[in-house]
Structure 1
């Protein structure tokens, strides 16, 4: 789930950032060379940035999880009775009767006290900690794949149609990523699609306008 989330976010960022970049440059010049150069530079820089960002973020999350687990293990070694009472209280808070909660806590403690506390108290699976390398790799690869869509869309059509084609391709791709991200998060698909499509359209309109303004001033 962690690398899927990173992959969806990477693809979405690749689509939007690269589309905004190439549409902005295309708004400034009809020449293919500058558009291609800017697009490739944006893909490389964005992929590296996404990978580093995911690696740092997920590494920090994993370090926090490990610290919490180490503290919980130490508390179980030092204060087993208090930890049993705490586990009982947690099950009572979840809706079990005191007697039932105590019985469940004792049985789970007898089986694997550390796993029981990690699950109920911390919400962490000690055997499935987040992996920063998986997240970084998924994010970078997805960013490159997402970036390929607007890059191809801006380069293949003739200059007179490249902006319109890119808009259509990018908005369709954003709609797809919106559906996927909503499915992964068990959220409403319509709202997710509208947000992504509206945001992507706004980004391209703004960068195209800036490109036109800069192109008219500088070129």
Structure 2
């Protein structure tokens, strides 16, 4: 009888229940940075269109950075906190059902695996073995797609969201305050569009989508936002 070969993930291939969660966090970070770039660029370019004062532009940019980061953090905390509360309620419900009606839960788990293509005998055997190993983990994974050891953390999500927003917001803020007065708007436009190319590529790679479409979407959106706010600034500043 031949020995059972060792099974390892292919090179560069990630396995594990938390891979999807990690990719979602990375994608959220990229999108947070993108929001920081576009929103802050819109603010500073708009103010630059209204006034030549470097202090006014810097003040508006810093205020936008702080307000945006706090807003992102608060929104993410509320959203992820609600998601975690729901997950914990579902885990508690499943644990109670396992205590009160273990046979029915075992049959339900076997039925789920049978629906995925296993024979009734094999599905029942798999359900029994997984239940013996870790009943709650087996049931919530098959029924709910939840990993009890990898629940969403609202504080972590809020911090990551705020940090990514700040990183993105710093680029247009530095570009418009450090560039020569006559070139500050063009320099900011170019710097922001290049940064949006990077975030577009990153979001496409993480999501497995087409790069050109993602880049085009982020660049056109950012350029439009800056053009509109600059025009508004010029119009308001002339009053």
Range into which the TM-score falls when normalised by the shorter chain: over 0.9
Partner of 2:18: none
- Is 1:99 the counterpart of 2:99? The answer is no
Partner of 1:189: 211
Count, aligned residues: 217
Q: Secondary structure at the match of 1:187?
A: coil
Partner of 1:211: 233
* Unpaired runs of at least 5, structure 2: 1-21
- Is 1:60 the counterpart of 2:82? The answer is yes
Deviates more, 1:136-145 or 1:181-190: 181-190
Distance in 2 (CA, whole Å) between partners of 1:190 and 1:3 is 23
Q: How does 1:143-182 map to 2 (within 5 A)?
A: 143-182=165-204
Measured after TM superposition, the shift of residue 180 of structure 1 is 1.5
Distance in 2 (CA, whole Å) between partners of 1:5 and 1:134 is 15
More helix by share: 1
Misfit runs of 4+, over 4 Å: none
Partner of 1:120: 142
Measured after TM superposition, the shift of residue 130 of structure 1 is 0.7
Distance in 2 (CA, whole Å) between partners of 1:117 and 1:76 is 9
Deviates more, 1:86-95 or 1:203-212: 86-95
Measured after TM superposition, the shift of residue 193 of structure 1 is 1.4
Measured after TM superposition, the shift of residue 118 of structure 1 is 1.1
Distance in 2 (CA, whole Å) between partners of 1:162 and 1:33 is 13
